[in-house]
C-alpha cells in the first residue's frame, strides 16, 4: 500500500523561501533585459517554467500565438529556446537553457 508522505514543515518552508529568492533574482534579471541589457545568464538549474511565469507576470507574451513556433528543442538533448515579446514592444527576447544538464539558463534579446 502506498502512503501519502507529508513533507516535513521545515523542508516545505526551506523550499518556499528558496523559490522566493530565486523568483526575486529572475524578476531582477527580466527588469534588466527590459531596460536594455542584451543578455543575462541565470546559471544552472533555474526552472524554465518559473522564468516564463515571472516573464508573464511582467507582461511578456509569446512571440506568436502558436507554441510550436515559439518553443524549439535541439532534438537530441532537452535544450530549449522560447521566444517572447517584451511588453508593448516588438522586441524579441529568447529564454534558452536545458531541462536536464547542459547549457545554462539565459535570457537574451534577439538581434534588433
* pLDDT band for position 67 (cuts 50, 70, 90): low
> What is the extent of the structural domain holding 44?
9-109
List phi, psi (to 5°) of 55.
Answer: -60, -45
pLDDT tens profile 71-106: 666 666 778 889 999 999 999 999 998 877 667 899
Residue 40 belongs to a domain: yes
User: Average pLDDT for residues 2-23, to the nearest whole number?
Assistant: 83
Does residue 1 lie in a domain region? no
pLDDT at 27: 98
Number of continuous H segments (helices) and E segments (strands) in the chain:
3, 6
pLDDT level of residue 17 (50, 70, 90 thresholds): very high
Q: Count of domains in the chain?
A: 1
Tell me the pTM.
0.82
Amino acid at each position: 500500500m502506498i502512503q501519502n508522505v507529508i513533507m516535513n514543515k521545515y523542508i516545505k518552508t526551506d523550499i518556499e523561501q528558496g523559490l522566493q529568492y530565486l523568483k526575486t533574482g529572475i524578476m531582477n534579471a527580466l527588469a534588466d533585459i527590459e531596460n536594455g541589457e542584451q543578455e543575462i545568464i541565470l546559471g544552472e538549474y533555474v526552472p524554465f517554467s518559473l522564468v516564463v511565469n515571472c516573464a508573464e507576470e511582467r507582461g511578456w507574451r509569446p512571440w506568436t500565438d502558436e507554441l510550436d513556433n515559439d518553443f524549439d528543442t535541439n532534438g537530441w538533448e532537452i535544450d530549449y529556446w522560447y521566444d517572447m515579446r517584451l511588453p508593448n514592444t516588438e522586441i524579441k527576447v529568447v529564454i534558452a537553457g536545458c531541462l536536464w544538464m547542459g547549457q545554462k539558463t539565459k535570457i537574451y534579446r534577439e538581434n534588433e
